[in-house]
Amino acid sequence: MQLLMAIFMTELKNSVIYALPVILSLILTFKSSRIILDWYRMYSMARLLPGPKTHWFFGNHKAFMSKQNFFNYAMEWRESSPLFNRVFLMFQPIIIIQSPEAVQAIISRKNKHNEKGYIYNSLRPLLGEGLITNKDAKWHMHRKLITPTFHFAILKSFVEVFTNRTRQFIEDLKHLVKDQDPTNDFFDISPHTRALTMDFICETAMGIPLDDDTENDRWKIVNAIHRLEDIATYRTIRPLLWPNWIFKYTQKGKEEIIYKTVLHAFTNDLIKQRRRILKDQLNEECYGELETKGNKKAIFMDLLIETSKNGECLSDDDIRDEVNTFVFAGQNTTQLAINYCLYLLGHNQAVQNKVYEELLNIFGDSDRDPTMEDLKDMRYLENCIKEALRLYPSVPLISRKLTEDEHFGTYVLPKGIDTFILPYILHRDPKQFPNPESFNPDNFLPENSKHRHPYAYIPFSAGPRNCIGKKFAVLAEKTVISAVVRNFVVVSKDPRESMVVVPNTVLVPKNGIRLSLKPRNRKSYI
């Protein structure tokens, strides 16, 4: 009997071993078939939707490759089909969402269409599983844990960083203006605001202050982030590079590995350092508290560590991904919002006068730094920032994957398809913003906003996955722009019609932002 059982078990084991490849093959075949069938359904349904003519192989690839003309193509598409347009990036169908009603249907639902589109996959080497890229239960947990790190007490501590760094920024600008040739005093403000916002983000996110000892570290991490952004943009519009097994063998793929290694090694090492510092500073009773104590400055990484409960809620990898996400999402976007607002003020002296008048009412003729209350009182300046973000939204594209079929009248947008929302186009809807190309901060007066569609203006996205750092960004922007206007008369060189913007991961001005800054007589208007 024992011999028979032994023989039976041996045969059974051999059968399983021999059958395993067949079983795996069947599973993979079924999975591949399911993927192909889902794609074919999506592709076939997309072909029935309104959209521009496409090349049989390349689709609308020409529009995506000519990035500086992409918005011109998108404007033409909207003229022919205002609600949405179907386009193709080779054999990948995409829906360009162009009306507030369609935007609301896609991004307003709490448990529907909350998965980010494929374009964010190329950002995973940079962002990992941070708030921008993760989904489902993990996203909900991280969002719940991170939201308190932007409450009033924390933001108030961040304002101290903004004012200290802006004070030095203004002094540097004064020296620059003093040494300029008076016959050719226009210069690109972008490098200067890039360095400033880099200091904002590095100090508030990671606790790396502005000094000679940390300058190389700050530039090292920001350079790695910017290179990973460039690589992600390059890969996104080239479908043949989407598969990792192809991309990793390309030159860009090898560069991505290098910069990812640099970024992750730096952030991981910093997390370990901050953990040691916090354990020395905090006893078990106060470990995990979010409130800043005394004059202690808040640091985003420290706040995440304090809420991590020694790795139970957030692992070191989670903290790293969220810090990198904060740096990525905060530095370029804040800098660009400052640049575009100054550019528009430089072309609209009457508006700039009104901003300065508001600042005079708040500060008088004093040189004091703004408080949190002062920044709240800058209501007209805030409307200027909103209007600048309407015309030049820092984030040019928002993407969602449809988690189920979405019906628009007689049309059906298929499950699984990626949707692109272009704030640059959405914000120029003449039904929502009369004379949409004009810079008019009064667009955001209460009486002019009350009847506007709530999803007609989304510079910080909207719905459940809106930008968690909106208040942080606006406070930083108010601090810098108010300081510049208090000290200088801003004049812009390049006319609006010649301003070329390029939709990368952020909305980049192709030729920079060239301004002239003239020292202001504090007791008079322009």
> pLDDT tens digits for 66-95?
888 999 999 999 998 989 999 999 889 999
Using an 8 Å Cβ cutoff, are 476 and 203 in contact?
no
Burial 103-125 (b: 16+ CB within 10 A, else e): bbbbbeeeebbbbbbebbebbbb
Give the pLDDT score at 65.
87
pLDDT given at position 368: 95
pLDDT for 26 equals 52
Enumerate the β-bridge partners of residue 516.
491
Q: Which residues pair with 54 in a beta bridge?
A: none
| Residue 80: exposure state from Cβ atoms within 10 A (0-12, 13-18, ≥19) | exposed
Return the sign of the alpha-carbon dihedral for residues 359, 364, 366, 371.
negative
* pTM of the predicted structure, to 2 decimals: 0.90
What pLDDT, on the 0 to 100 scale, is given for residue 420?
Answer: 94
Place of tokens 């959405």: 426
pLDDT of residue 441: 98
- pLDDT score recorded for residue 109: 80
In this predicted model, what pLDDT tens digit does every residue of 150-200 receive, in sequence order? 888 889 999 999 999 999 999 999 999 988 877 788 999 999 999 999 999
Closest CA to 433 of 444, 418, 422: 444
Q: Which residue has 């599983």 as its token pair?
A: 129
State CA 13 to chain mean position distance: 54
Quick one: what percent of the chain has pLDDT higher than 70? 89
Nearest Cα residue to 196 out of 334, 299, 381, 395: 334
Tell me how far the alpha carbon of residue 10 is from its chain's centroid.
Answer: 59
pLDDT of amino acid 491: 96
DSSP string, 442-492: GGGSHHHHTTS-TTS--BTB-GGG--TTHHHHHHHHHHHHHHHHHHEEEEE
β-sheet bridge partners, residue 502: 508
pLDDT at 85: 95
Mean pLDDT by 10 residues, the chain (526 residues): 53 48 56 80 93 91 88 92 92 93 90 82 88 85 88 90 96 90 86 92 84 73 88 90 90 94 90 84 48 64 85 86 90 95 97 97 93 97 98 94 91 94 96 96 95 95 90 97 97 93 92 94 54
Report the distance separating Cα 4 and Cα 6, nearest Å: 5
Of 278, 290, 254, 501, nearest to 394 by C-alpha is 501
Element (H, E) at 205: helix 190-206
Secondary structure of 323-376 in HEC code, one letter for each residue = HHHHHHHHHHHHHHHHHHHHHHHHHCHHHHHHHHHHHHHHHCCCCCCCCHHHHH
Query: Cα separations (Å) of 461 from 106, 107, 109, 398?
Result: 12, 9, 13, 7
Give the pLDDT score at 454. 95
* Residues facing 459 on adjacent strands: 461
Architecture of domain 48-519: Orthogonal Bundle (1.10)
Domain boundaries, given as residue ranges, for the chain: 48-519
Q: Write down the pLDDT at residue 183.
A: 73
Cβ pair 403, 112 in contact under 8 A: yes
Q: What angle do CA 494, 495, 500 make, to 5 degrees?
A: 75
Answer whether 397's CB lies under 8 Å from 503's CB: yes
Please give the DSSP secondary-structure letter assigned to residue 64: H
d(C-alpha 463, C-alpha 465), whole Å: 6
> What was the pLDDT predicted at 1?
58
32-48 per-position pLDDT tens digit: 678 888 889 999 999 99
